[in-house]
């Protein structure tokens, strides 16, 4: 990946409508990195994930000016496809958190994995309010 836009830049561009087109190039610019679904599904997925991102941006664990976000659509060995977004440090490119609103591996619950424990096990599993609580934002 090249230079990434900060979460703040991403959200400004989102509000300007820069990711409204369904074409692959637009959705890659939005941050889609890897997917197994149809290209035409990415726009709707972006629009479902952005409110989740917005709900976490006041967290002290996320720096909207120094972190970026990218999206993945995962194909597990069992169960259905599921989406996640990753919060990464712009300077190092390292993933800080993998956040999954509906994780096939966690029986459809939301989950957060992170470098806090080297991604060895989930830092939180539950509903979206549990995720927000982990990030220290009001549910």
pLDDT tens track of the chain, all 139 residues? 445 899 999 999 999 999 998 989 999 999 888 888 888 899 999 999 999 999 999 999 999 999 999 999 988 777 788 899 999 999 999 999 999 999 777 788 999 999 999 999 999 999 999 999 999 998 7
Based on the number of CB atoms within 10 Å of its own CB, is 86 exposed (0-12), middle (13-18) or buried (19 or more)? buried
In the prediction, which pLDDT does 3 show? 58
Q: Name residue 83's beta-bridge partners.
A: 73
In the prediction, which pLDDT does 47 show? 95
How close are the terminal C-alpha atoms of the chain, in Å?
A: 33
How far apart, in whole angstroms, are the C-alpha atoms of residue 8 and residue 96?
Answer: 17
How far apart, in whole angstroms, are the C-alpha atoms of residue 20 and residue 74?
Answer: 22
136 token code pair: 């220290």
In the prediction, which pLDDT does 2 show? 46
43 token code pair: 């726009």
- pTM recorded for the entire structure: 0.91
Helices (H), the chain: 7-15, 24-30, 42-54, 128-134
């Amino acid at each position: 990946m090249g230079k990434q836009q900060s979460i703040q830049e991403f959200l400004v561009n989102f509000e300007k409508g820069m990711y409204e087109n369904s074409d692959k190039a637009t959705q890659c610019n939005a941050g889609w990195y890897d997917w197994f679904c149809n290209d035409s599904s990415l726009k709707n997925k972006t629009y479902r994930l952005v409110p989740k991102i917005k709900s976490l941006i006041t967290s002290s664990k996320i720096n909207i000016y120094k972190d970026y976000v990218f999206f993945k659509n995962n194909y597990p060995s069992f169960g259905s496809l599921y989406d996640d977004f990753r919060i990464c440090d712009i300077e190092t490119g390292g993933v800080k958190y993998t956040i999954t609103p509906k994780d096939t591996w966690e029986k459809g619950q939301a989950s957060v994995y992170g470098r806090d424990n080297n991604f060895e096990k989930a830092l939180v599993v539950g509903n979206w309010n549990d995720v927000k609580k982990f990030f220290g934002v009001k549910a």
